[in-house]
Structure 1
C-alpha cells in the first residue's frame, strides 16, 4: 500500500462551478420513490454524507424518501441488497465481485465508488511475535462474521502463501474486538484499519502504539472497497431514482469536504451518544487513508480506473477459485455518475 505525506489543515477546498442550479433536483414533480439503504456499520463519522443528504433535503430534491439503517458489515450490505431486504447499501465491491461471479443473472451493481484504497487489515499486539503473514500460522484470529477483511482472508492467505487451515478463525461480537486483542484473548483481529484504530480509542487504547497492522494492500491486494451498491431491480426499473440517489450523495460529500464540522453535526444529530471528537478523527483518517487517491483529476470521486478494477476482479476470482470472471461492466455501472467537474475535490486536512 502506498504511504502518503501528511496533509495539513482540516479544510477541504471543493472545485465546483458557482451556480445555484448545480445540484438542482430533477424529480420535484415526480412521485416520491422510497429507497431503503443499509450502511456498512453502526453509525459513525465516515457516513456523514448520508445523514447530511437527508438532513438538507438533497434526497427529497431528487424525489426520494430515503430510509437509512445501520449495518452489520460491509460484506453483509451486499447480500442484503442482493436478497431484496434493501434497495441500496454501502458495501464492499469485492464481495459484490464474488456474488456476481456466482450469480451472473441476479446481482446488484456498484454505482459510486467511495473507498479507493484497501482498508483491510489484521491487527496484532505491538509486542507480538507476529510480524509477517507467515507468523499467523498456528494462531487464533478473530473478527465479526460479516467483516470485509475476514471475508477476504482466504484471498489474502493464497496471495501470501500461508496455510489458512493452520489458522483458527473465531467469530466475535464487534464490540469485543479491541478488548480481546489488548487482553491477549486472541492473537489478532480482522477489520478495517480505521474501524479498529478509533474503536480502540473509544476504549482507551492507543492503537498506534499498542497495535501493529498487517495490511492486505502491502501484500499485493490492491483492491477497491466500499461503494454505493444498488439492486438490479432499481437499476432496471427506476434508473432516475438511482441517478438521483447518487447526485444527492455526491452533493453531500461536497458539503462535508468543504466543512467537516457540518458533516459531523449530521452524524451527531442521528446518534447523539457518539463521541464527537473520535468520530471527527475517524472521518478525517478515512478521507486520508481510504478515499484520497492520486488520479482524482483524471477520474473524479466516485469513478474507477477500469484497468485497476479489472486486476482487482482477477485477484478476487483467482484467490477464491471462482469458476467465472465477471467483467468490469457487470460490477460497476458508470451511467449514474454526475459529470466529472462536479466530482473533483482538493483535500487539505490535518491528520488525526
Structure 2
C-alpha cells in the first residue's frame, strides 16, 4: 500500500470515528411545558436536570413554566412542545374531539382529584346546589373551571344559573376574601397555599366543595407527550420517564434537595412555603390508595375507563376514547422500581 492510500485510509478511519463519537454524544431534544410557574411540587423535573439523569438517557430537556393545568395540552398538541405536565381530563377531551392530535399520558402524577370550588367558611354555600345564583371566579385555564360543566351535570346543578368570571390566578384568594366572588375554582393544595399568602388559614377560614366528593373520581395531572414524538422516539420517552421516576425517588428521600433545585430556577421563592407545598401535594394529590397496589405512575384501567365516561357524558363529547388512547403504561419502569408510599 503506497503512502497516498495509507493517508486516505487513515483519514477515512478518523472521519468514521468522529462521526461515531458525534452520534454517541447526540442528545434528543425535548421541550417540556409545566402546569404552572416554578414551584415546590415540580422539584423532580429540576432535580433530574441538575443530577444529569436526563442527560444520562441521551436527552437534552428544556423546561418552561406553564399557564394552567389545561393550557399545557394544546401547546403539546400544536407541536410547540414535545412534552407537558397537565390535566389528564383535558387530554381526554381533546382525544374525544381530535384523536389524531391529542397527546398521550405516560406517567400519572396527581392520582387523586384535587378539583374544588372554595368558599369562605361563613358562606351560605354548603352544597353544590347552593352555587346557583352565585358568582364563581377562576383563571381561564384552570382545570377545575374547565371541568365545572361536568361537575354541575353530575351534582345536578343548573350551570346556566351560575355566573362565571375570569380572574388572574394571583387574585383568586383576594377576590374571594373581599367578596368580589362568592366562590373560586382551583386545586385544593394551590388554594390552601394561596390563602396563606394573604393571611388566611384555609382550615379555619375556607370551605372546599370537592369534585371528588360528588361523583367525580377523576385522575388529574400527568406527564404526557405528543403522539408523533411517542411514535418516532419511543426510547427517548422511556428514558425521560425512567429519569423522572429516579428523581421522584430522590425527592422523597431528600425533599430539601428537591427544593434546592426549584430555588435555583426561582430564587425569590420562600423555601419553607415551597417545602410545605411539596409535602401537601404528596399527601393530597399523589397518594390515592391504588398507589400501594400499582406504584406511582400507573393507573387503574377500570377507574380510568369510568373517568373517561364521566368526562365524555357530562360534556357531551362526540366519542369515547379508549383508556389506551389517553394513557400508555408501556414506558413505565418496572413496578418494583416505582414508589408505592410517598410519605
Normalised by the size of structure 2, how large is the TM-score?
0.92
Of structures 1 and 2, the larger Rg is shown by 2
What are the residue-to-residue correspondences of 1:241-252 with 2, within 5 Å?
241-252=236-247
Contact 2:115 2:187 in 1 (8 A): yes
**How far did 1:30 drift?**
5.3
The answer to whether the Cα contact below 8 Å between 1:37 and 1:89 also exists between their aligned partners in 2 is yes
- Note if contact 1:193-1:213 (Cα within 8 Å) is conserved in structure 2: yes
Does residue 181 (structure 1) correspond to residue 176 (structure 2)? The answer is: yes
Structure-2 residue corresponding to 1:264 = 259
After superposing on structure 2, the runs of 4+ consecutive aligned residues of structure 1 that deviate more than 2 Å are 295-298, 344-348
- The Cα of 1:298 is off from its aligned counterpart by 2.4
Unaligned runs of 5+ in 2: 1-22
Give per-residue Cα distances to partners, 1:145-196, cap 9 Å, x unaligned.
Answer: 0000000000000000111011111011001101000111110100000101
| Residue number in structure 1 paired with 2:298 | 303
Partner Cα distance (1:157, 1:234) in 2: 36
Aligned partners of 1:175 and 1:285: how far apart in 2?
19
Alignment of 1:285 onto 2:280: yes
Distance 2:170 2:341 in 1: 35
1:32-90 residue CA offsets vs partner (Å, 9 max, x unmatched): 01111100011111001011111111111111111111100010011111111111000
Are 1:336 and 2:331 matched, yes or no? yes
- From 149, 164, 168, give the equivalent of 1:169: 164
Q: Map of 1:185-224 to 2, 5 A cutoff?
A: 185-224=180-219
Looking at structure 2, the residues matched to 256 and 331 of structure 1 have their Cα atoms a distance apart, in angstroms, of: 27
Q: Residue 14 of structure 2 aligns with which residue?
A: none
Question: 1:276 Cα deviation (Å)?
Answer: 1.1
Mapped to 1, the partners of 2:258 and 2:292 lie a distance apart of 24
Task: Give the secondary-structure state (helix, strand or coil) at the position aligned to 2:341.
Answer: strand
Shift of 1:268: 1.1
Q: Is the 8 A contact 1:101 1:323 kept in 2?
A: yes
Residue 91 of structure 1 contacts residue 227 of structure 1 at CA under 8 Å; is this kept in 2? yes
Q: Is the 8 A contact 1:202 1:278 kept in 2?
A: no
Identify the residue that residue 320 of structure 2 maps to in structure 1: 325
Residues 292 and 341, structure 2, Cα contact 8 Å, conserved in 1: no
Secondary structure, aligned partner of 1:123? strand
- Where does 1:28-177 land on structure 2 (aligned, <5 Å)? 29=24, 31-177=26-172
TM-score, length-scaled by structure 1: 0.90
| SS of equivalent residue, structure 1 residue 345 | coil
Cα gap change, 1:30 to 1:325, in 2 (>3 Å): farther
Describe the SS at the equivalent of 2:180: coil
Deviation string 1:284-336 (CA, Å, 9 cap, x unpaired) is 11101110122323211100000000000000000001120000000101111
1 CA distance for matches of 2:139 and 2:190?
12
| 8 Å CA contact 2:40, 2:274 repeated in 1 | yes
Higher helix share: 2
Number of positions where the alignment pairs a residue of Structure 1 with one of Structure 2: 321
Measure, in 2, the Cα distance between the counterparts of 1:40 and 1:289. 17
CA RMSD of aligned residues (A): 1.1
SS of match in other structure, 2:218: coil
